[in-house]
Amino acid sequence: MKKKFLKLALALLIGCGLFSAAKISAKAAPLTMPDGTVFDPVYYSDRYADLKAAFGEDVNKLWNHYKTYGKNENRVCVNPANAAPQGKIEIMDGAVWFDYEFYANRYADLKQAFGMDKTKLFRHYMTYGMKEKRQAYAGQKASQVEQAKALERATNVKYPYYVKVNRVANVVTVFAMDTTGKYSIPYKAFACSTGQTTPLGTFKTQSKVRWLFLVHNQWGQYTTQFKGPYWFHSVPYTHKAEDTLKYEEFNKLGTMCSAGCVRMTVADVKWLYDNLPVGTTVEIYDDAANPGALGSPVPARIDVNSPNRNWDPTDPHPGNPWNN
């Protein structure tokens, strides 16, 4: 009974996104994360000594490491020996449990379109099936149902998201709309850097600029204005070029160090740039005790001795050497 309670409690934490300081026992089951990845934090920690030394069994830190670095490094985040309840489960794309025979046989439209082609069936699941809440294997339970519903609603409402910035905690949390029209679903969380002059209050996004000239002869990428001279933007660059990142400033993410704007990684600020319509509400507040509904993400860091240090490692630009 005690073990069942612990697993249930952990599942609730994950389902609500409230696992920033959660630790689990070695007996706990793998977790299904919001993007569909099956993640086993204990296995991930035990398999890689460097991660265990750095993060112990902190679920949030281990997950953030995997999605920021581990996946690109081809690290394995779930024990291949583990099996889902039924069927011929394979771990696809390094982390997603998928039974192509079950998927084809359960959905006649897919079997007619793709036959038993495993690659095409898996591509359909990742592109469409997950959003449509189709099952990837027998016995799969719906995870993050509200997030899936929120994703559907995002295409049907004018302002699908509400943004909260905890200035003192340097965390941006995005909320999605529920079925009643309230922004009650914690959707994403990003590490950021604010400043002493970052204004408190509630504002509306006003405009977007792909590259913005900043104070001190600097540039920022994927910028979204929320009040007068205050913008969401990338960590500053010395020139209007992706390979001129100020890596010392990048390594300050998570601390209050900006001139008043809200700095983020390129990948994170690009998400805002791509997904927040002009007119989206932004609330900036201070709460040192609670970073936000999804906790405090672990800020990315750059090795200052790396020859790639003048590139943001999250930048999707095709010339980014971190992606090679």
Question: For residue 237, what is the enclosing H or E element?
Answer: none
Is the predicted pLDDT of residue 28 greater than 50, yes or no? no
Mean pLDDT across 112-132: 86
**30-87 confidence digits (pLDDT tens):** 666 666 677 788 888 888 888 888 887 777 788 888 888 888 877 888 776 554 444 5
Q: How many CB atoms lie within 10 A of CB 65?
A: 25
pLDDT value, residue 139: 59
Mean pLDDT across 220-230: 97
**169-185 confidence digits (pLDDT tens):** 999 999 988 777 888 87
132 within 8 A of 142, measured Cβ to Cβ: no
Question: For residue 192, what is the enclosing H or E element?
Answer: none
**Which SS3 state, helix, strand or coil, does residue 173 take?**
strand
Q: Report residue 198 CA to chain centroid gap.
A: 24
Is domain 161-323 given the CATH code 3.30.1490.100 in the classification? no
Q: How confident is the model at residue 91 (pLDDT cuts 50, 70, 90)?
A: low
| Higher local confidence (pLDDT), 156 or 51 | 51
196 within 8 A of 321, measured Cβ to Cβ: no
When mean pLDDT is compared across 110-119, 180-189, 275-284, the lowest value belongs to: 180-189
Nearest C-alpha neighbor of 24 from the set 59, 75, 62: 59
Q: What is the per-residue DSSP string for 260-324?
A: SSEEE-HHHHHHHHHH--TT-EEEEE--SS---TT--PPPP---TTSTTTTS-TT---TT-GGG-
Separation of alpha carbons 112 and 209, rounded Å: 45
pLDDT value, residue 127: 81
Separation of alpha carbons 47 and 43, rounded Å: 6
Residue 311 φ/ψ region, left for φ over 0, alpha for ψ in the -120 to 50 degree band, beta for the rest: beta
Q: How confident is the model at residue 193 (pLDDT cuts 50, 70, 90)?
A: very high
Separation of alpha carbons 17 and 115, rounded Å: 37
pLDDT value, residue 30: 63
pLDDT value, residue 307: 96
pLDDT value, residue 149: 56
pLDDT value, residue 36: 64
| Higher local confidence (pLDDT), 299 or 22 | 299
Quick one: 147 exposed, middle or buried, by C-beta within 10 A (0-12, 13-18, 19+)? middle
| Higher local confidence (pLDDT), 177 or 206 | 206
Mean pLDDT across 271-275: 94
**Which SS3 state, helix, strand or coil, does residue 75 take?**
coil
Q: What is the location of CATH 2.40.440.10 in the chain?
A: 161-323
Strand partners, 282: 163, 203
Q: How confident is the model at residue 274 (pLDDT cuts 50, 70, 90)?
A: very high
pLDDT value, residue 143: 41
- Considering only the C-alpha atoms of the chain, give the largest distance between any 2 of them, rounded to a whole number of Å: 62
Separation of alpha carbons 122 and 33, rounded Å: 18
Q: What is the mean pLDDT of the chain?
A: 81
First to last CA, the chain: 48
User: Considering Cα of 213, then 218, then 224, then 230, what sign does the dihedral take?
Assistant: negative
Separation of alpha carbons 95 and 36, rounded Å: 9
